[in-house]
């Protein structure tokens, strides 16, 4: 019996392609897998709407990446930006690196995690007595080139949130203790989920997430029945249930792998880029992060559909996800922020 089979039997994951509805959330996650530089996704929605189920289901679909064998940081054998210092040193000495393939990993950040657990620790005693930098990697090291998932992100300690955001923005994690400093690459897709009832997120935290998906409870009775049935079938016989979705899962994984390859060739017209910035300007979006993310996400959705040219329809589909959380809150506003973005889009694009 293979390790995968043992793993599947111990903790089967609900298949991504079996998830009914919640298109915004699924699309945001898929686009971030195609282009991790979009900057992650914040999923806000009611309790019991399948946020955690969907994020965990994504793991099955993730394509494989090449890593240096036995390296705790998932170092990329070709990209120096994604290599640990140790791997770089070995390359300088012209040592041959053993390269292996592994699935992109997803790391769950527990709510009660300490800073040491997240960032890693330096063993001062070992460093002083043996003269070596003894570093015990944390969750950020494990998440390099993968996904870091924070459930209930609005309940996370402010200090830890700052640490995560610094790493997510710079792509590096630095641990300093007693004059010893160690840095390692920490490029990950930050996925957060939360329930609006449990408190709003700070605006500077929201702004750091590339996309923002809002999900609600399904209202259609027929759809609700379908969701309940699917879940019951899965709980009763997870392996048989997964078997039914094998083909669609493989198909989607293949599509994601091809989209990641195609992304480099996708182009967005200069006129469209001007219009995107015009929309951001009209909506009073602070900074340029909104412009950058919208450009990236438009290219990612085009590559997902196997095209190399971005259309206005692509931009229309993703722009609410990229901008709605960057708008200044007006307590008297009755219109949903996503709708507001769509209205300005239609005006600027003459749609």
- DSSP codes of every residue in 15-35: -GGG--S-HHHHHHHHHHHH-
Domains contained in the chain, CATH given:
25-61+106-215 (3.40.50.300), 64-103 (no CATH), 263-349 (1.10.8.80)
Average pLDDT in the chain: 84
What pTM was estimated for this model as a whole? 0.85
- 69 in Cβ contact with 99 (< 8 Å): yes
For the cut 50, the answer to whether the pLDDT of residue 310 exceeds it is: yes
> Which pair of structure tokens corresponds to residue 347?
């005006």
Which of 153, 157, 65, 70 has the alpha carbon at shortest distance from 115? 157
Name the strand (E) or helix (H) holding 116: helix 115-119
Query: Mean per-residue pLDDT for 7-33?
Result: 82
> Which pair of structure tokens corresponds to residue 244?
């039914």
Categorize the per-residue pLDDT at 266 as very low, low, confident or very high, splitting at 50, 70 and 90: very high
- 74 in Cβ contact with 104 (< 8 Å): no
Handedness of CA 65, 57, 113, 190 (dihedral sign): positive
> Which pair of structure tokens corresponds to residue 345?
């889009």
Q: How far is CA 150 from CA 6, 34, 54, 193, 200, in A?
A: 26, 20, 13, 7, 15
> Which pair of structure tokens corresponds to residue 229?
């049935």
DSSP-assigned beta bridge partners for residue 101: 66
> Which pair of structure tokens corresponds to residue 246?
């094998």
> Which pair of structure tokens corresponds to residue 268?
């967005």
What burial class does residue 346 get, using C-beta atoms within 10 Å of its C-beta: 0-12 exposed, 13-18 middle, 19+ buried?
exposed
pLDDT tens sequence across 79-88: 887 888 888 8
- 209 in Cβ contact with 325 (< 8 Å): yes
pLDDT tens sequence across 174-229: 888 777 788 888 888 889 888 877 777 777 677 778 999 988 888 888 888 988 89
Active site residues: 289
For the cut 50, the answer to whether the pLDDT of residue 7 exceeds it is: no
**Interatomic CA distance for residues 283 and 326, integer angstroms:** 9
In the numeric block, the tokens 């190399």 are attached to 308
**φ/ψ of residue 188, rounded to 5:** -140, 160
């Amino acid at each position: 019996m293979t390790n995968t089979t043992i793993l599947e039997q111990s903790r089967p994951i609900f298949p991504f392609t079996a998830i009914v509805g919640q298109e915004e959330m699924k699309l945001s996650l898929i686009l971030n897998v195609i282009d991790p530089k979009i900057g992650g996704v914040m999923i806000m929605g009611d309790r019991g709407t399948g946020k955690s189920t969907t994020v965990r289901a994504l793991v099955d679909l993730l394509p494989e990446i090449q890593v240096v064998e036995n390296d705790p940081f998932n170092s990329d054998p070709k990209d120096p930006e994604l290599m640990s210092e140790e791997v770089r040193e070995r390359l300088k000495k012209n040592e041959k690196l053993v390269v292996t393939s592994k699935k992109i990993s997803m790391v769950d950040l527990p709510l009660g995690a300490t800073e040491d657990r997240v960032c890693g620790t330096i063993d001062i005693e070992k460093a002083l007595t043996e003269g070596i930098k003894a570093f015990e990697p944390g969750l950020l090291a494990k998440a390099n080139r993968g996904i870091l998932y924070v459930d209930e992100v609005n309940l996370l300690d402010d200090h830890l949130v700052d640490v995560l955001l610094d790493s997510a923005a710079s792509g590096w994690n630095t641990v300093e203790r007693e004059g010893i400093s160690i840095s390692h690459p920490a490029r990950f897709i930050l996925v957060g989920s939360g329930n609006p009832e449990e408190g709003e997120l700070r605006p500077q935290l929201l702004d750091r997430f590339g996309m923002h998906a809002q999900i609600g409870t399904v209202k259609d009775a027929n759809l609700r029945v379908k969701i309940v049935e699917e879940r019951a079938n899965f709980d009763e016989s997870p392996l048989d249930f997964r078997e039914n979705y094998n083909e669609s899962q493989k198909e989607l994984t293949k599509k994601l792998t091809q989209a990641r390859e195609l992304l480099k060739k996708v182009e967005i017209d200069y006129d469209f880029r001007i219009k995107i910035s015009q929309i951001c300007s009209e909506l009073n979006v602070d900074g340029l992060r909104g412009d950058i993310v919208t450009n990236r996400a438009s290219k990612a959705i085009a590559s997902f559909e196997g095209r190399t040219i971005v259309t206005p329809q692509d931009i229309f589909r993703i722009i609410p996800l990229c901008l709605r959380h960057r708008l200044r809150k007006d307590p008297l506003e009755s219109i949903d922020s996503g709708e507001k973005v769509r209205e300005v889009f239609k005006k600027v694009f003459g749609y």
